[in-house]
Amino acid sequence: MSEQTTKPAPGRRDDRSDVSALERNLIERVSVGDIATRAAAQHGDRPALIDGARSLSFRALNEQANRLGAALRGMGLGAGDVVAVMARNCSEMMITYFACAKAGLVCAPVNLGLKGPEIVYCLHDAGARVLIAASDLAAAVAPLPEALPALQRIYWIGADVPNIAKSAGSFEDLLQAGTPQEFETIIHDRDPVQLLYTSGTTAQPKGVLTSHLAVTITALSAALTGAMNRHSTSLALLPLFHCAQLNADVIPLLSVGGTVVLMPGFDTGLVPRLIARHRVSHILLLPMMYAALLQNPDIQNHDLSSVRLARYAMAPMPQERLQAIHALFPNADVMLGSGQTEFTPPTTFQLPSHQLSKAASWGPATVMVQTAIMDEEGRLLPRGEIGELVYRGPQVMNGYLNQPAATAVSFRHGWFHSGDVAWIDGEGVIWFTDRKKDMIKSGGENVASIEVERCLMEHPGVAEAAVVGLPHEYWGEAVAAVVILQPGRQVSEQDLLAHCRERLASFKVPKAIRLVEQFPRTATGKIQKHVLRNELRDIFASSMES
């Protein structure tokens, strides 16, 4: 309908004159804080969060979020102000998240994998005014007050209140300063509710501002795609400062009345015990975590039959490992979910019918996401052609904080640009080729690093592989690989080169392979390829095959 024809027809007048702005907003808005309100009304004393020996009901979660939201606004924070959180997975993190959502504030969970200067950079960029931190992280927090003039107060999770500048008391003290009544303030659908920083695999992290609407739409979409309901229980062990655990698992599950079992980190022995004890139905792990579980000789002694959905993210897995995971969780669908912070994942999710037939794919787009493939000039390409994967949908970020130029680049041509190279098949299934920045140009040919990595991981002695392009006088870029072997396996670099030569075109075969014990990673397990390139440039310079 054109702008000239939008005048309401007679008898359809939308008269708001007798309704206050707040009343109207409370009736019709999309607010993440209202997820906690509705869940408390519908699910009451059922457990929302299990945190070690503690259990927090939906009613208690909502009450404490109201208290904290009121206390934060009561100290003078205004709409849109940022509250940072530094802690491992714990119930206080989710209380703080929902408190900010109710009070019109922005919650900024801090990536604990960052170094001190990086944390200072993020919190300074965010303009964080309050920090809620775990007391066992006091050493990391100590330098922050002097480096962050905008930071006014620090509150501590735990029994101790460290003697650090700007310490204002405990988390419990802050809770007691608020009231349990519903905190009511105007919140607009596109107001920001969370600020997560990209993992910095290539450069300084960028602050991604995400709205109430984006988080809510993602929660409903993820719950639908993951078949979540009030009888579902998830084991949350990936960090809550990452969008995968926060937006694709915990908030969706709480939205439908399910229970979240919190773990502060991955523990090979504890995971199967918690699955059996709490009859966990949903898990989300990184590929290396599944590999570690499969190596645990005690895991067969635990009842894992309750798991209905075993999701993985971040990296591909070889077919043999996928089949082993299916055997480990006999009643579960084993599926890859993909996405990125800027589009509030998941944006793609494999169908059960594709778990083996198209296991190397990303699956189709989720229900509220539109995908397409675009060339460098902004033209949409037909199915089957390779280009950049672009998105449309309400899950998109508001933008990068304080970086309007970067936001404009990501939003050009009316689509969000993912930076992923991919193609879409006839069923709408997305096949990831590589990150644009990771595509290797060797001898005039494009080499997808992920294809070489998959080839290496098909070798039974390989646990993980990473492939990068390094400057080379003859090739332009040379394909170089680093490999972590399976525990106890004896495989030489020459064995792996021979394996690749049998399966790859000659220009895709690594010019050199190096065996290592670990990769440089972000806190969420992503391999930092820019660090690898710097580390390997000199090491491989003399060993590259021509």
The pLDDT of residue 2 is 37
| CATH number of the domain where residue 500 is located | 3.30.300.30
Is residue 216 assigned to a domain?
A: no
The pLDDT of residue 493 is 92
| CATH number of the domain where residue 371 is located | 3.40.50.12780
The pLDDT of residue 187 is 98
Q: Write a three-state SS string for 358-425.
A: CCCCCECECCCCEEEEECCCCCECCCCCCEEEEEECCCCCCEECCCHHHHHHHCHHHCEEEEEEEEEC
Question: Where would I find the H helices in 296-361?
Answer: 319-328
Closest-CA residue to 309 (of 242, 374, 224): 224
Is residue 84 assigned to a domain?
A: yes
Q: Name the residue with tokens 């394909």.
A: 479
The pTM of the full predicted model, rounded to 2 decimals, is: 0.85
Same domain, 43 and 160: yes
Q: At 55, which helix (H) or strand (E)? A: strand 54-57
- The pair of structure tokens assigned to 14 is 């939308």
Q: Name the residue with tokens 């440039």.
A: 537
The pLDDT of residue 546 is 46
Q: Which residues touch 210 (CB under 8 Å, ≥6 apart)?
A: 192, 193, 194, 195, 196, 247, 341, 344, 397, 398
Choose the final residue of a domain: 400, 435, 470: 435
- The pair of structure tokens assigned to 100 is 């900010």
Pair 155, 171: CB distance under 8 Å: yes
How far lies 415's CA from each of 398, 419, 438, in Å? 13, 12, 22
Q: How many residues does the chain have?
A: 546
How many whole angstroms separate alpha carbon 490 and alpha carbon 471? Answer: 30
Is residue 261 assigned to a domain?
A: no
> Max alpha carbon distance in the chain (Å)?
81
How far lies 468's CA from each of 181, 360, 418, 451, 485, in Å? 55, 20, 20, 12, 18
Pair 296, 328: CB distance under 8 Å: no
Pair 421, 389: CB distance under 8 Å: yes
Same domain, 157 and 305: no
Is residue 222 assigned to a domain?
A: no
Burial class (CB within 10 angstroms; exposed 0-12, middle 13-18, buried 19+) of 164: middle
Same domain, 294 and 351: yes
Same domain, 85 and 202: yes
The pLDDT of residue 244 is 93
- How far is the first Cα of the chain from the last one, in angstroms, to the nearest whole number? 62
Range of the domain at 32: 21-48+56-209
How many whole angstroms separate alpha carbon 397 and alpha carbon 391? Answer: 11
Is residue 343 assigned to a domain?
A: yes
Is residue 249 assigned to a domain?
A: no
How far lies 215's CA from each of 341, 401, 451, in Å? 11, 17, 33
- The pair of structure tokens assigned to 501 is 């030569």
How many whole angstroms separate alpha carbon 446 and alpha carbon 86? Answer: 42
Same domain, 137 and 38: yes
Same domain, 405 and 451: no
* Low-confidence stretches of the chain (pLDDT beneath 50): 1-6, 201-202, 545-546
| Backbone CA torsion sign across 265, 271, 273, 276 | positive
Is residue 255 assigned to a domain?
A: no
Pair 272, 302: CB distance under 8 Å: yes
Is residue 347 assigned to a domain?
A: yes
How far lies 112's CA from each of 90, 234, 264, in Å? 14, 22, 12
Rg (CA), the chain: 24
Same domain, 413 and 509: no
Pair 389, 238: CB distance under 8 Å: no
Choose the final residue of a domain: 405, 435, 465: 435
Pair 466, 532: CB distance under 8 Å: yes
How many whole angstroms separate alpha carbon 121 and alpha carbon 115? Answer: 10
Burial class (CB within 10 angstroms; exposed 0-12, middle 13-18, buried 19+) of 170: middle
Chain centre distance of CA 434: 19
Same domain, 425 and 463: no
Same domain, 279 and 423: yes
Q: How many CB atoms lie within 10 A of CB 493?
A: 15
The pLDDT of residue 437 is 78
For residue 346, say if its preceding peptide bond is cis, omega within 30 degrees of 0. yes
State the amino acid at position 13 in one-letter form: R
How many whole angstroms separate alpha carbon 315 and alpha carbon 319? Answer: 13
State how many domains the chain has: 3
Same domain, 198 and 78: yes
